[in-house]
Amino acid sequence: MTVWCALWAGGIIGPYFLKNDEGHNFTNNGGRYIAMITNFFIPELNNHEVQELWFQQDGATCHRARATIDLLKDTFGDRLIQRFGPVNWPPKSCDLAPLD
């Protein structure tokens, strides 16, 4: 099962369970990840009126897809922490990886 959520000082956005139309779990990919960000995360984020948000993600394959990176750069600009992003993800950083 793949579950996604966002952690911030004001709480948690999610969880978001990746399921198909029949309710079955499936593996994430770039297109599904973009759909989740566009259709779930950004609307939820807008409901919370968060200012100056930094978005951080690890180096999972669906996170590194060109279309994903373009969407996140358009949405968060230079406030994006990821592998090869505006702010590079520090390797093995427990300070920036609270779920680890």
Query: Can you spell out the DSSP letters for 77-97?
Result: TT-EEETTSSEEPPTT-SSS-
Report the predicted TM-score, pTM, of the whole model to 2 decimal places: 0.73
- Give yes or no for a contact between 80 and 54, defined as CB atoms under 8 angstroms apart: yes
Full pLDDT tens readout for the chain, 100 residues: 577 788 777 788 888 887 767 766 667 777 888 888 899 888 988 888 777 788 887 777 677 788 888 888 888 888 888 876 777 776 666 655 555 4
